[in-house]
Amino acid sequence: MEEKSLDMVMVPLGLLLLATYHPWLLFTIARDPKRTVIGLNAQARERWVRAMMTDTTQNGVLAVQTLRNNIMASTVLATTAITLTSVTSVFVRLTTTTASASLFLYGNKSPAAYTIKYFTISLCFILAFLCNVQSIRYYAHASFLVTTGEAGGAPADYVARSLNRGSFFWSLGLRAFYLSFTLFLWIFGPIPMLASSVAMCCLFFFLDTTTEFFHVSATVKEVGVTEEV
């Protein structure tokens, strides 16, 4: 296989692995939420909202401080994303063709290939910035609603939905950072990019599933039933 053809085969294969994993994750969240960390945390946030809204006089400050911490986390990621976008654009303008052609790169070394690589990395950072901005929007909206209480006219389900949307956008922004790392390795060739895609799918499966947690829970329940018998 020619050296330039590696990018045409390995890069789409790596992106296909990541694109196949996430529909499976969405299907699992919709079908069995407790099997995933995202679905389990969404249910926990719904219970937390109901607990906070039962007595806003005592829990209002705690709820606002918790949401403020989430807003700060989203703000840090949004600032980091837009900063890296600016740094990448400056680096593209300053880097010449001769400096870009590295001897350690095994793959397509054309200027057009470098332009595509840096453009996709910048696109990931912009996507991460937009997702985190939306996350801040929903968190700020939820911080107003959670302090009104159920008697204030805002149902707990609506507040929980706003809070979960903020968390979902935060997760999307974080995954855009993960994808940018894989695309960054593409600068050094399609082989590191494909290896990173495989490793990233394994890492996502480890971080997204709760199989071990429920295995331990089932074991505890079995022990409890045995003791009762």
Three state DSSP letters for 49-86: HHHHHHCHHHHHHHHHHHHHHHHHHHHHHHHHHHHHHH
Asked whether the beta carbons of 74 and 172 are under 8 A apart, the reply is no
Question: Which residues fall within 8 angstroms of residue 6, CB to CB, at 6 or more apart?
Answer: 106, 107, 108, 189, 190, 191
Give the residue with greater pLDDT, 16 vs 219. Answer: 16
Asked whether the beta carbons of 150 and 49 are under 8 A apart, the reply is no
What confidence tens digit (pLDDT) does each residue in 106-132 have?
666 677 777 888 889 999 999 999 999
Phi/psi region, residue 113 (left: phi>0; alpha: psi -120 to 50; beta: rest), is alpha
* Winning range, highest mean pLDDT, from 49-58, 81-90, 194-203: 194-203
pLDDT over 90 at 61, yes or no = no
What confidence tens digit (pLDDT) does each residue in 137-179 have?
999 999 888 888 766 667 888 899 999 999 999 999 999 999 9
Q: What does pLDDT average to over the chain?
A: 82
What length does the chain have?
229
What percentage of the chain carries pLDDT values higher than 70? Answer: 80
Phi/psi region, residue 149 (left: phi>0; alpha: psi -120 to 50; beta: rest), is left
Query: What is the model's pTM?
Result: 0.82
- Say how many Å lie between the first and final Cα of the chain, rounded: 66
Asked whether the beta carbons of 43 and 33 are under 8 A apart, the reply is yes
Where residue 223 falls among pLDDT bands split at 50, 70, 90? very low
132, amino acid identity? N
